[in-house]
């Protein structure tokens, strides 16, 4: 039991609301279209959360191996880097999480797809791709998180695949219009990663971990951040506008942008003051995760009601 707080820290539970956001948005759209299925929702949510945990553990393991997590790290303490969890124990945790993810994902497909062979093949492929992406962000011979591809992966998996893919499991059909709310969640998820990379720029440069922030610097990264935060509500707002019978009060989900805008201001101050402690960046990282979750909840709520 003494190891429980250490493992809870390694799981990075604070990131899980971000993984849940896309599932909540797709569920709200499914309710709006009267095709919601609660067991599908639960299994979609568990699969998304397990994939996030798998990614967190693999990231902890991979960055410890490469040295990107060292004593100069300004982010939250990593379990392997500090020696609190051994490499063998972390490997075992990754394998267990991988098995649980497969069980949850296959159960979801059994429930939602029945005997639809074509859909089975598509989703098995997407599932394998999602697992590979979760593991190889910082692991493997060519971890894509070290090649400035993290933002693209986050946008695709947290946004497009998370929303459109999980909605397909309700409807068994594809709707191009869903690219709009899916992009909103993907952009906000990319904003979370961008803050993480702004915070870690010095260590990432030291260990040749190439991110967009390393490539372009903090100032340009902040402008990129503003674009992400600005475009997200525009896409979702236009989706609501395109629906039949939308009322003005339903745009109340845009209230979630207030804390996200405040977070941008605090982030700008931290960058201009060249803060190196990481505490301000960690705070805005947390605020942006929570803001994204609230954004998803309110957007789903206005569709449900």
Per-residue pLDDT tens listing for the chain (305 residues): 457 888 888 888 999 999 999 999 999 999 999 999 999 999 999 999 999 999 999 988 887 776 555 555 565 666 776 778 888 999 999 999 999 999 999 999 999 998 889 999 999 999 999 999 999 988 877 788 889 999 999 999 999 999 999 999 999 998 999 999 999 999 999 999 999 999 999 888 988 889 999 999 999 999 999 999 999 999 999 999 999 788 899 999 999 899 999 999 999 999 988 766 688 899 999 999 999 999 999 999 999 98
CA–CA dist 183, 188 (Å, integer):
9
Of 7, 131, 142, nearest to 62 by C-alpha is 142
Phi and psi (nearest 5°) for 288?
-75, -35
Alpha carbon of residue 176 to chain centroid: 22
The pLDDT of residue 74 is 60
Q: What pTM was estimated for this model as a whole?
A: 0.92
Phi and psi (nearest 5°) for 147?
-125, 30
Which residues, including other chains, have CB under 8 Å from residue 222's CB and lie 6 or more apart? 198, 267, 268, 271
Place of tokens 């697992």: 131
Here the tokens at position 293 are 């979750």
CA–CA dist 254, 232 (Å, integer):
10
Cα dist. 139→55, 57, 65 in Å?
Answer: 10, 11, 9
Q: Note down the domain range covering 108.
A: 4-304
**Number of compact structural domains in the chain:** 1
The pLDDT of residue 2 is 58
The pLDDT of residue 284 is 94
């Amino acid at each position: 039991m003494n190891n429980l707080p250490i493992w809870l820290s390694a799981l990075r539970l604070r990131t899980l609301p971000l993984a849940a956001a896309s599932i909540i948005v797709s569920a709200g759209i499914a309710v709006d279209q009267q095709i919601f299925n609660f067991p599908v929702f639960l299994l979609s949510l568990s699969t998304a959360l397990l994939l996030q945990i798998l990614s967190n553990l693999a990231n902890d393991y991979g960055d410890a191996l490469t040295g990107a997590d060292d004593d100069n790290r300004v982010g939250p303490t990593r379990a392997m880097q500090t020696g609190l969890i051994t490499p063998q124990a972390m490997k075992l945790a990754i394998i267990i999480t991988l098995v649980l993810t497969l069980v949850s994902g296959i159960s979801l497909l059994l429930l939602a797809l029945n005997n639809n062979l074509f859909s089975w093949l598509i989703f098995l492929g997407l599932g394998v791709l999602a697992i590979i992406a979760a593991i190889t962000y910082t692991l493997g011979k060519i971890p894509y998180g070290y090649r400035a591809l993290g933002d693209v992966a986050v946008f695709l998996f947290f946004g497009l695949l998370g929303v459109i893919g999980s909605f397909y499991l309700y409807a068994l059909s594809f709707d191009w219009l869903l690219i709009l709310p899916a992009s909103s969640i993907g952009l906000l998820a990319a904003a979370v990663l961008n803050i993480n990379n702004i915070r870690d720029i010095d260590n990432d440069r030291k260990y040749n971990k190439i991110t967009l922030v390393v490539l372009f610097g903090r100032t340009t990264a902040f402008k990129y951040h503003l674009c992400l935060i600005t475009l997200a509500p525009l896409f979702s707002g236009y989706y609501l506008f395109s629906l039949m019978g939308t009322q003005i009060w339903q745009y109340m989900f845009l209230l979630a942008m207030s804390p996200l805008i405040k977070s941008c201001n605090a982030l700008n101050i931290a960058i201009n003051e060249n803060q190196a402690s990481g505490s301000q960046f960690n705070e805005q990282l947390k605020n942006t995760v929570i803001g994204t979750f609230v954004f998803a909840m309110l957007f789903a709520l206005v569709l449900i009601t």
